[in-house]
């Protein structure tokens, strides 16, 4: 059984508020890919018209 990194645990606690199956799954994904759970900001382009 793989261990979840401390950064993933703290991220999941901030995100979900308590430790649960969803938090464990999210923390596991966060440890594998640290960009998981971050908002992707899209830049708005100017409309031609």
pLDDT values of the chain reduced to their tens digit, one per residue, 49 residues: 578 899 999 999 999 999 999 999 999 998 888 787 776 556 666 666 5
Number of compact structural domains in the chain: 1
pLDDT at residue 49, rounded to an integer: 52
Helical spans, DSSP H, in the chain: 6-16, 21-32
Does the predicted model carry a pTM greater than 0.75? no
Q: Is residue 43 part of a domain?
A: no
Range of the domain at 27: 1-33
Please give the Cα distance from 29 to 2 (Å, whole number): 12
Whether 14 is covered by a domain: the verdict is yes
Nearest one of 32, 37, 33 to 11, comparing CA atoms: 37
So what's the pLDDT on residue 41? 59
Domain assignment of residue 4, yes or no: yes
In a domain, residue 17? The reply is: yes
Asked if residues 5 and 12 have their Cβ atoms less than 8 Å apart, the reply is no
Closest CA to 31 of 2, 6, 3, 8: 8
In a domain, 39, yes or no: no
């Amino acid at each position: 059984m793989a261990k979840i990194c401390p950064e993933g645990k703290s991220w999941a606690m901030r995100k979900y508020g308590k430790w649960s199956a969803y938090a464990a799954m999210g923390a596991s994904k966060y440890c594998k890919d640290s960009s998981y759970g971050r908002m992707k900001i899209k830049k708005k382009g100017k409309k031609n018209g």
